[in-house]
Copies of this chain bind each other. A is one copy, B any other.
Amino acid sequence: MAVTALKAQTAERVRGVAATLEEEIVLGWLMPRERLIEEELAERLDVKRHVVREALAELERVGLVERVPNRGAFVKLLDPVEVRQIYLVREALETLAAEQIPLSAPDRLLSQLEKIQGVHSAAVASGDARAAFRANMIFHEALFAACGNPHLVELIQTMAQKVHGARSITAASAEHLALARDEHLGMIEAIKAGDRVRLVALCRKHLGPSRDAYIAAAEARVARSKPVTR
């Protein structure tokens, strides 16, 4: 994913690397507990080790990777309790935002959302999980940005990132992707209709599947292997 500019300063490259790693985690290409070696990533992503280092620090702050001093970084394995807590907060935040999106929304917002959703639907149709993931993120950002409070949007994104590690199940499932697509379309309809109650309800409902799928999978995993890996 070559970046556009010939000269990008470190900060931007760090974000790029972090975003790439994030994607690879969401798509299940990097698995939980997998070790992330700085030099290896530096070579693979064609970037200096220092940049990878900072990117890993950022992902640690977000909660996608774990880092222990002198030992390195790993993809974090989320436990169900944590996931539940995070989704609880997400629900509160997204509800708050959805309640502040101005209905009778500007046409600009609607056409923007429809355009983004077009990309998303196409990705879902062609089974391109990566493209679907990207379009999905853009859709939600655009949707919540309409609430007019950038700090709230930032928080929503932060919390969404936190559970990206728990999404490899749904992010690659055609079934789940199709459901997400339909719900997006429903949100657009709700905005069009000026139906706030329905919009908020949809946002809430939208969070459910990926949370439940992960929790179910995690609990099944725990049941399967008795001893706590340490």
Contacts and interface: CB of A to CB of B under 8 A. Distances in A.
Interface in A63-94: 69-70, 82, 85-86, 88-89, 92-93
Interface string A196-230: 00000000000000000000000000000000000
Nearest to A87: B151
Given A92-B92, A92-B96, A96-B92, A69 B151 contact: no
A69 B9 contact: yes
B89 A155 contact: yes
Contacts of A96: 89, 92
A86 B151 contact: yes
A152 interface: yes
Contact of A152 (B54, B57, B85, B150): B85
B69 A11 contact: yes
A98 B150 CA distance: 24
A69 to B, nearest CB: 5
A99 to B, nearest CB: 10
Contacts of A9: 69-70
Given A9-B69, A11-B69, A69-B11, A89 B151 contact: yes
A112 interface: no
A211 to B, nearest CB: 14
A97 B75 CA distance: 29
A144 to B, nearest CB: 12
A119 B54 CA distance: 37
Given A11-B69, A69-B11, A96-B92, A82 B151 contact: yes
A159 B149 contact: no
A85 B150 contact: yes
Nearest to A95: B92
Nearest to A155: B155
Interface string A149-169: 111100100110010000000
B85 A149 contact: yes
Given A69-B9, A96-B92, A162 B155 contact: no
Interface of A: 9, 11, 54, 57, 61, 69-70, 82, 85-86, 88-89, 92-93, 96, 149-152, 155, 158-159, 162
